[in-house]
Amino acid sequence: MLALLNFNWVTLETLAVVLSIAYLLLALKENSLCWYCAFFSTAIYTWIFGDVHLYMESLLNVYYLVMAVYGWNQWRKGGALHQGVEISCWSIRKHGLALIVIALVSVISGYLLGENTEARLPYLDSLTTWSAVLATWMVARKVLENWLYWIVIDAVSIYLYLDRELYQTVILFVLYVILATIGYISWRKKYYKQQNQQSGLSQLLPEQAKG
């Protein structure tokens, strides 16, 4: 208890975890402030993952930094009316193509990492990295199924971080799985409400035109 009160357990990883949780909670609410938390948490994780030889994860966080700026812009100024993008869905065909591409690039980058670096679990590291590249872009564009991708990615990532003894990050990713599930349910309700509103509006406009 005294050790906890002395804050000896607080590290850069702790700060990154707190910011990451804040990002996800704000994303659940479709609050664009989530991207500020994403920017600073990923900046910290870029250094942390490089230090423990998870190079693909470190490189992924550089990408996250860029996407934090892009995501903020899309949520605030994107869409046809430049008032922020709305929640959308992908077709099964689009998901299928995306998964094939992820599998191919994961095998290639996993092989290159295994042959040329001291990376741990190169194929698994590559799989979670390329999947997260796609899923992050899906979040920025408010694609509903991003949450399903994250549930799988986060569950697999838990094993990676256990192997590297990043225990605070393991706890974070267990929480991520739970929150991603809640996120999917929440966004799904909003999506159908959004669709119903648009359907009602499209029916109202022709009637007004006739009148």
Is the pLDDT at 65 greater than 80? The verdict is yes
Diameter of the chain by CA atoms? 75
Could you tell me the end-to-end alpha-carbon distance of the chain, in angstroms, rounded to an integer? 73
Tell me the torsion sign for CA atoms 50, 173, 125, 29: negative
Q: Looking at residue 85, what DSSP letter applies? A: P
Q: What is the mean pLDDT of residues 156-179?
A: 87
Confidence of residue 16 (pLDDT cuts 50, 70, 90): confident
Confidence of residue 1 (pLDDT cuts 50, 70, 90): very low
DSSP 95-122: HHHHHHHHHHHHHHHHHHHHHHS--SSH
**Calpha distance 23→68 (Å, rounded):** 10
Confidence of residue 4 (pLDDT cuts 50, 70, 90): very low
Looking at residue 56, its amino acid is M
Q: Over the stretch 66-125, which tens digit does the pLDDT of each residue have?
A: 999 999 999 998 887 888 899 999 999 999 999 999 999 999 999 998 888 887 788 988
Strand partners, 143: 88
Residues of the chain with pLDDT > 90, as a percent, come to 49
Q: Over the stretch 37-55, which tens digit does the pLDDT of each residue have?
A: 999 999 898 888 888 777 7
Strand partners, 88: 143
Confidence of residue 191 (pLDDT cuts 50, 70, 90): very high
∠ CA 82-36-156, rounded to 5° = 105
Distances (CA, A) of 144 to 8, 20, 141, 147: 40, 20, 9, 7
pTM over 0.85: no
**Calpha distance 23→87 (Å, rounded):** 18
Q: Over the stretch 119-148, which tens digit does the pLDDT of each residue have?
A: 778 898 889 889 999 999 999 999 999 999
Average pLDDT for the chain: 85
Interhelix angle 122-140/92-116, nearest 10 degrees: 140
Q: Where are the domains of the chain?
A: 11-201
Among 8-12, 105-109, 158-162, name the one with the lowest average pLDDT: 8-12
Q: Looking at residue 61, what DSSP letter applies? A: H
pLDDT at 203: 54
Q: Which of 9-23, 131-145, 159-173 has the highest mean pLDDT?
A: 131-145
